[in-house]
Amino acid sequence: MKQGLIILGVLILGLSSCRKDPEDPLHKTPSSYKPTLVDPATIFPVGKFGMPQLPSDNPFTEEGIYLGRMLFYDPILSFDSSISCGSCHKQEYAFAEPKKFSTGIFGLQTGRNSSSLYNLAYSRKFFWDARQSTLREQVFEPIQAHNEMAMTLPFLAKRLARTDRYIEYFDKAFGSNPNVFDMSKALEQFLMTLVSKDSRFNGFFPGKFSLLSDTEKRGALLFNGLVDFDMVTGLATGTDCFHCHGGALAQQNNPDMGGIANNGLDGNFTDKGYGAITGNPADRGLFKTPSLLNIAVTGPYMHDGRFATLDEVIDHYSDNVNYLSPTISPMMAAHGNKQLKLTPQQKADLKAFLLTMTDSAFLTNPAYSNPFKK
């Protein structure tokens, strides 16, 4: 009798284990709603930037993008519902924040400067220390970081599942109940749609010099010229910015070609950056090279926000590069370890050229704005 009960128990257990858990959001019975696919060619300026490599398992849909946008701006993603992604990544600053460090929940400070967010589909490394390779993995980190949003994923999943708009939009976008996996895919979709392409720089790139003012033109020649010095005047004739900030994206995305580099800020590293990720001493002090598009509004600058203004940044590259930094980019050290010593006019020219990279349309595009703001 006892054995019979055990057999019956095992049989019930076996059969019940085959049934889908009705609470499992990923196994929700799909509704008849069909999300509207969005052609990537309508998102990305193929003629300017080419087509990026896109994740094959997360096609763009209107509903997915909108869901991602809501999540980006929704403070319920933080533990105390006080801050959202958009709190530290503000559209008017190209999704950076004009503070050295940002403030997470309970007033805690972040360890690095808030990165700007645009043209992310063209990047393959994320965060200043390049520790993540996909956006959907990246988004989990600030959500869970104790000094940012300090949320736990199980708690977040429950919170999302109690919210009507997410019940509706997860269903529409993914045919699922709210869950953190599809949340990361929706955020990935929205973040990839943040495309900055309409700066004056992108209008005349490459080579339509006639559209530049004289000072911008001189700045462009410095920016895109290899480091050299005039034999008569001794003045630098090029600043070689383009090796690490070249192309229409004003960014090198190959980590080994300047995409992750030590730009001569320090001789000793209080923040090891990429080196802390790889554990390789040769990577100490290396950080992801940011795009210079919208550089006028993304200050303060560098991974630690040490430079408050663009002028200070130019001063660094002109006069204060630490060529003895043990892991300095070979491309910088190859300049003969000689400071450029730009003249005030050259600095002004370079700055004028950098200011052509501001994309006002991007900074005010309503498609990227907070959907909860009326």
Q: Residues interacting with other proteins, by CB under 8 A?
A: 3, 6-7, 10-11, 13-15, 17-18, 46-54, 122, 205-207, 220, 223-224, 226, 228, 242, 246-249, 252-254, 256-259, 280, 282-283, 324, 326, 328-337
* Shortest spacing between CB 30 and other proteins, in angstroms: 17
Which burial class, exposed, middle or buried, applies to 165 when counting CB atoms under 10 A from its CB (0-12, 13-18, 19+)?
middle
Query: What is the C-alpha separation between 187 and 142, in angstroms, rounded?
Result: 13
- Token couple for 208: 């339509």
Residue with smaller CB distance to other proteins, 32 or 56: 56
* Shortest spacing between CB 264 and other proteins, in angstroms: 11
Residue with smaller CB distance to other proteins, 28 or 165: 28
Neighbours of 247 (CB within 10 A): 16
* Shortest spacing between CB 136 and other proteins, in angstroms: 18
Q: What is the DSSP string of 9-47?
A: HHHHHHHHTTSPPTT-GGGPPP-S----B--GGGTS-HH
Residue with smaller CB distance to other proteins, 133 or 280: 280
Query: What is the C-alpha separation between 309 and 314, in angstroms, rounded?
Result: 9
* Shortest spacing between CB 120 and other proteins, in angstroms: 13
Query: What is the C-alpha separation between 266 and 275, in angstroms, rounded?
Result: 14
Residue with smaller CB distance to other proteins, 112 or 245: 245
- The alpha-helical segments, DSSP class H, found in 110-267 are 135-138, 140-144, 153-161, 164-174, 180-192, 200-204, 214-223, 242-245
Residue with smaller CB distance to other proteins, 170 or 353: 353
Beta bridge partners of 266: none
Residue with smaller CB distance to other proteins, 226 or 367: 226
* Shortest spacing between CB 373 and other proteins, in angstroms: 34
* Shortest spacing between CB 162 and other proteins, in angstroms: 30
8 Å CB contact between 157 and 180: yes
8 Å CB contact between 238 and 222: yes
Residue with smaller CB distance to other proteins, 38 or 333: 333
Query: What is the C-alpha separation between 255 and 248, in angstroms, rounded?
Result: 17
* Shortest spacing between CB 227 and other proteins, in angstroms: 9
* Shortest spacing between CB 137 and other proteins, in angstroms: 20
Residue with smaller CB distance to other proteins, 10 or 26: 10
Q: Which helix (H) or strand (E) element contains residue 287?
A: strand 287-288
Could you tell me which of 270, 274, 257, 260 has the C-alpha nearest to residue 131? 274
